[in-house]
Amino acid sequence: DQQVKQNSPSLSVQEGRISILNCDYTNSMFDYFLWYKKYPAEGPTFLISISSIKDKNEDGRFTVFLNKSAKHLSLHIVPSQPGDSAVYFCAASGTAGTASKLTFGTGTRLQVTL
Amino acid sequence: GAVVSQHPSWVICKSGTSVKIECRSLDFQATTMFWYRQFPKQSLMLMATSNEGSKATYEQGVEKDKFLINHASLTLSTLTVTSAHPEDSSFYICSATQGWANNSPLHFGNGTRLTVT
């Protein structure tokens, strides 16, 4: 049972344009969401997060939007750069102590072309 | 920034042997460490949660006698794959955190690619 879903396995975007990566979840107990970036043969690195009390969080070129009613979140990267090419994982967690226990999506491979 | 070192980065072993993977937090004390497994084109699946000085908590479907986890200190956790079989071939990643709060950063190691022949 995949509780966090990234339905697009890959995405290609031209440099300078906006990249939009989508993520859906099914567990209503999730209240904290994160995006990670992963290069081949490396561990994921944290990008940005959002709590369920917010609907938007921005950090430089990265913005995460959360729509709780739709159980949907998205990561916007603007402008996209070639160095952004990587696999992006959306992750979610609930509360009660083990909040860092994350459930990951399957990832979306972003390719930023020149 | 906080660094998590995972060793080895890759290992090939014969079926029936055991393999130990180490996860170290280099510049912080990790109250909790997590072990994940990733099969090709799939998401990272949490295997177990490890707290220093106590027994690990395993996720449903993960055999605790096969995947032995030891968290002997605040900077080291080990995962031992016992009696490895080809189906255990996967990418294993550890992560570590200093705290329990929702916004405690989670730092990942670079992973270990295990191939069982």
Contact at 8 Å (CB) between A52 and A31? yes
Q: Is B109 in contact with A105 (Cβ distance < 8 A)?
A: no
Integer Cα distance of B96 and B108 in angstroms: 7
- Among candidates B43, B110, B113 on the partner chain, residue whose Cβ is nearest the Cβ of A89: B43
Q: What is the pLDDT of residues A61-113, one digit of tens each?
A: 999 999 999 999 999 999 999 999 999 999 998 754 344 578 899 999 999 99
Integer Cα distance of A44 and A42 in angstroms: 7
Q: Where are the beta strands (DSSP E) in chain A?
A: 4-5, 10-14, 19-25, 32-38, 45-51, 56-59, 62-67, 72-77, 86-93, 103-104, 108-113
- Asked which of B3-12, B14-23, B48-57 is least confident by mean pLDDT, the reply is B48-57
Contact at 8 Å (CB) between A21 and A75? yes
Residues of B in contact with A52 (CB under 8 A): none
Across the range B12-20, mean pLDDT stands at 96
What pLDDT is recorded for position A96? 40
What pLDDT is recorded for position B84? 96
Integer Cα distance of A97 and A78 in angstroms: 35
Q: What is the pLDDT of residues B35-82, one digit of tens each?
A: 999 887 788 899 999 888 788 999 999 999 999 999 888 899 999 999
Measured from the Cβ of residue A14, the count of other Cβ atoms closer than 10 Å reads: 12
Q: Is B46 in contact with A102 (Cβ distance < 8 A)?
A: yes
Q: Is the peptide bond before B8 cis (omega within 30 degrees of 0)?
A: yes
Contact at 8 Å (CB) between B32 and B106? no
